[in-house]
Each structure stands twice: as C-alpha cells, then as structure tokens.
Amino acid sequence: MTGHEVGPTLRTDDAGWLLTERGWEADRSVAVGSNFLAGNGYLGYRGTTPEQGPDEYVALVVTDTYDCADGHWRELTTAPNPLFVAASIEGTIVAATAADEVETTLDLRSGTVGARIVQRVGEATVTIDVERFASYDDLHVLAQRWTLRSDREVVVDVDARIDDRIWSLNGTHLPEVRLDTEGDVRIATATTVDSGVEIVTLAHLTGPTGTATVAAGDELVVETAAVVMTSNDVDDPGPAARARLAAAAAAGFDALASANTDRWREIWETMDVVVEGDVVDQVGLRFSAYHNRICTPAHTDRLPIGARGLSCQAYQGAAFWDQEVYNLPPFLWTEPDIARSILVYRHLTLDGARRKAARLGYDGAYFAWISGDTGDELCPDVFFTDVLTGRPIRNHFNDWQMHVAPDVVTLVERYVAVTGDVDLLVDHGAEIAFEVARFLHSFVRYDEWRGVYHCIRLLGPDEWHENVDDNAFTNHQVRRALAFAVETHERLAADHPEALAALADRIGLRSDEIDGWRRVRDRMLLPQPDDDTDLIEQFAGFFELEDVRPDDVRARLLDPGEYWGWPNGVAVATQVSKQPDVVMLLWQQAGAFDDDVARANYEYYEPRCAHGSTLSQAAHGMVAIRIGDLDRALDHFRRTALVDLRNTAHAVVGGTFIGGIHTAACGGTYQLAINGFGGLGV
C-alpha cells in the first residue's frame, strides 16, 4: 500500500488530505463506518459499501428525529437506506465481505467517500467503484455514483433500491416503512413510533437496473440522488422532498459534486491549519476538523452537537458538557456564527433545564447532563450493569455531575470576550447566566462555622469518584459563573437598562438575588495549591485515598468488563482517575494559577490518570504545552487526533456503546493545534 502509514491498514497521501483503508475486517467495520462518514450536520451516512445492510451497521442518521422506542433511551432515528445497490453475477454477490480486494477512501477536501471492491467471479475479475457525499450545498441531499467493470463479458443482476432493513441501537423506531415507486423514483415513508416524526426518504436512480450485459472493458453506472426530509423540517415533507429531488436529479451527479466541493472549499479556507513536518499529524488534525464540522448542526440553533455526532445513535445524538468545552471553541476562531448558534441552543432549551432544577428541588436552570432537542434530562439513572452480579449500577451523572451548568456559562463569557458580540449577551447569554446563578445559589451549602459556601455530593469531571464534596474544578467553575452573572447584571444595568428591566420582569428577577450571588461568589470555598507542594486536592479527602497507579488497579479486576467507578468499583478507594479533573481546571482556568502550580499538578495527576475517556488527552496536552513539555504535549496531540483512526477508544458492539466518532476528541485536537501549539491560549 502506498502513502504514509496511519495505522496497520490505513494510509494517507503525501498532502494529508486523502485517507485510505485497505481490506474489510469484521472487527474494524464499526470504526471504518464511523471514520469514513459522509455528513453535513443534518444527516450522516456511515462509510459502508452499497451492498451492505444492518449486519454491517449501515445507517443514515438524521438530526432532529429524537424518538424513544424501548421506553429507556431517547435517541436519533436511523432512516431507510436510499443508496443500496447490489450486483450479482451467476448468483454470486459482489461484496466487500467476500472480495479479493477492498479499499475505502475519504477525501477530506470535499467530504467524498469512495470505495473499490475487486472480486473474482468465475473467470471474470469484477471491479466496483463508488463515490458518495452528503451535500453541503443542499443539506437534505445525498448523492452516489456506482460503477461496475469487468475484464470479461458478464451478465449482471443489479438491485438498486431503498433498503427498509434498518439497524437501530435501542428499539424499532420505524415499525412500518411504506415503500413505493414512481418511475425512476423510489419512495420510503415512515413515522417514528413514540414522537410521531414523519421521515420521507426518496431516491432517484439513473442507469440500468435489473439484468444487464456488461462487455469486457465497458462500464455499468448507477447514479443515485437521494433526499431526506422530516415533519420537523416542514409540516408536509413529501412534496418538499419531491421538489428537492427533482432539482437534484436534474442537476446530475457531477454538478451536485461540484457544488458540494465549492462549499467545502469555502469551509476549509477558514478552518484548515497547515502542519509542516509530519503528514500523519496533518491528516489527524484535518480528520478532526472535518468531523467536528460535520457533527455540528450549523443550519439551525435549535439542536445540539451529539457526543458521537451523526455517526451512529450512541449517546443519543445529544449534548454533554463536551459541546461547550470541546466542540464549540474551534468555531470561535473560524466560524463564530456557529459558536453563537450553539449558545442560542442552550438559551432555547432553558425551560428543560428549569424543569430539571425544579424536579430536583433547586431554583433556576440546571442544564441536563445529556441534552437533546428540548433540554430535558435524557440521562437514565442506570448506565452500567455490574458484570459480577448482574445488578444495575445507579450512577449519578444526571443529578450530581452539576458542573455542566457553570461550564455553559463560562463559554458564554468566553464567546463574548472573543467576539465582542454584546447582542448575544443581551438577548440570550444574560438569561442563561442569571438562571444558572439562581441554580448555583440554591445548590451551595453555607458553613456558618467557617463562613464559607461548599458544594457537596458532587461528581466532577473524573466520573469514577462520585458523592464527593468540594471538587476543585466544580467549585472554581461555580465561583466563575456567579462572578460572570454579577458582572453581566452590572453591565446591562449600565449599558442596556431597558433590556435588563424587561428580562428581570420576564423571569421575576429580584435585586436581593444578585446580592446573594455576590455573597456566594465572595465566600465560595476554592481549593488552593498547598504551600509546600503546590498540589490542589481534587476533592475533600482525595489525598487520603490509596495512592496507586492505573496498572495496579487494573490488576485487581476479577472481570475485564468491570466498571471501575462508584459505588464499589476498583478505582473508587484510590487516587486513580478516569480522566483529568484538576488538570481540567488548570486548562479551563489557566489564569487562576501560575506555571509552577500547573507543572506540579500535571506531574502528579497525569501518572494517576487512566485516560479512560477521549476527553483526556487534549486537556493534558494543553497543560503540557503551558509548562513547556512539548514532547509529551505532542504525544497527547497524536493520541487524541488518531483515537478513532487507530480505533484505540472503547468500542463495544451493542448496548449503548457502538463506537462512533468521538466528536469531543475532534474538537480537543483542534484546540491543541491552534490554542495550544498555535499560541492563542484558552
């Protein structure tokens, strides 16, 4: 295989734009399908070959199609597959799973996914070439060109259609798919089982289907223009989808491809970062930028960035704190309007955050740990099962991991500081900051003896240690969010008094509430570096835990599938963390601590971190750059940039975890490049 090695079966070209995967292996199919995703923020089509089906995890994931089919998981829906094309010769299907040669490509310049299948059938050698893209010119359009050649004359049976066999993680979202044909157009109409969203999938086919004779050296070409629309796009998606399909079919594959390439050229003009010296670093960065862009619903401000984007249904197509801390910041420097829309989404879903706060007995708005289209909490009480006992494990991601609320506020602050967009602050950000401040004021607990406010019963960024008090990252973020809320109130009072009065009237804000925010801000317990060691304790009592390393803890497992965390996992009584916690604080609040403190805490906490999350490497890399350890920073960069390409992340087929693109790692990679190595800072 030519090119530069990225992984055992993966190469890139000399320019760092083209990725090529050689071969098809069952244990790589999940990763390849995600890595070679064609997407545009509205839909994502996994990097499978046209003849494949649910067993190979073919999926067309469509945004804004949230549905709960199993009573437990509310997730995005996978639509019928409009790009199915299969060829059989003398009863033998030409397929990636049986081919002599298979090659999958992704041209990052245009988001074009390619495939080549070479298979010996009788005396003939048959080659199928595929080109596919999700259009950025019309987000509802998918296009595919399928070409078959043979070195001998063959009779081919071509089956081109919409495949209504649908792979889904957690239940059947489309119990009835109605199929129809109108001339060259194939039609699939279905309605989600719980939410009642109508999904219309259309495919216009050009080229011979059925039985055809292909002479040696000739080509048999099938082109598919497909359109997907839902009743969340327009009230009656059928006619609207037909109109779009007619336009796409009239344009043809080449014109559609050209328009898509032009749009990608515009995106790359602002997004691309050139790396000199190592082409694998270059392609890893571009791969990350590509996926961070196509996972983002830039066409709307109503929807979140999913933790697996549109590469599969894992993590429900919903936002975590990853969205603000990892995915959003790259757009501050490239396409700030997209960063703005992400924050507007948080404003539009404040009612869901208010409902969560009220349900748990708090005031204001408590943002969901897993947030979909409404902002209501999607995270269930039970995420894991104890493999030793078979009993469910009650994790408290949805009620103790409250740092998501101040995290959102700190990104409002950062956005306004970078862009100077005061309108965002007045129209959206102030209400976010005030409602979160209300929540934080009701959450903290006052210690009259010491005269300080505490945050108790927490789950910080390190998800293995639950039910802890005064987590350093959380407490510092709480104080910062309250300070910003107070500053915003003062700023609006001085510069936009009418807007402030209208907002205060709408949400019932009283002046004594701001006094309360000031008191908590000024008296918040903020864990500080030790005078002798410069170490910041991760949470109260952390240094009393057993001081061991991840390998020591791993050796204690009775079963490799054990959950390491709370309440009784092997890491709970130790200082081993799943992911950065104090190191995350040093990244997100770099100005609060000097370089000596950053160095001492990086050196202490990094060896005790198991890097059990793809959020981990970017945070460590940012702090390593700060302390001047560029070798380790580069190692962190490569680990996060290549985590999906080399398939080194946890990916279990079935249940919640099906792999998928780790979109936060993509955003973190980009931040490491421009904010870290590039010197833009936090």
**CA distance between the termini of the chain:** 40
Q: Which two tokens stand for residue 500?
A: 């402030």
The packing angle between helices 350-359 and 430-443, to 10°, is 10
Taking only Cα atoms into account, the Rg of the chain, rounded to an integer number of angstroms, comes to 26
CB-CB contact of 118 with 99 (8 Å): yes
Is residue 463 among the annotated active site residues? yes
**Which of 422, 415, 432, 429 minimizes the C-alpha distance to 335?**
415
CA–CA separation, 598 and 592 (whole Å): 10
CB-CB contact of 623 with 587 (8 Å): yes
Place of tokens 């408290």: 396
CB-CB contact of 507 with 434 (8 Å): yes
Q: Are strands 60-68 and 43-45 parallel, antiparallel or unpaired?
A: antiparallel
In three-state secondary structure terms, 33 is: helix
Amino acid at 495: D
**Which of 196, 240, 245, 239 minimizes the C-alpha distance to 223?**
245
Catalytic residue from among 51, 413, 431, 463: 463
Query: Dihedrals φ, ψ of 351, to 5°?
Result: -60, -35
In three-state secondary structure terms, 377 is: strand
CA–CA separation, 537 and 615 (whole Å): 21
Q: Which two tokens stand for residue 271?
A: 């997004």
C-alpha angle 435-437-441 in degrees, rounded to nearest 5: 120
CB-side neighbour CA atoms (13 Å) of 455: 30
Amino acid at 428: H
Query: Dihedrals φ, ψ of 659, to 5°?
Result: 85, -125
CB-CB contact of 57 with 364 (8 Å): no
**Which of 587, 584, 585 minimizes the C-alpha distance to 681?**
587
CA–CA separation, 577 and 117 (whole Å): 45
**Which of 283, 359, 311 minimizes the C-alpha distance to 106?**
283
**E strands of 23-150, at which residues?**
38-39, 43-45, 60-68, 74-79, 81-89, 92-93, 101-107, 112-121, 124-134, 141-150
Catalytically active residues are 463
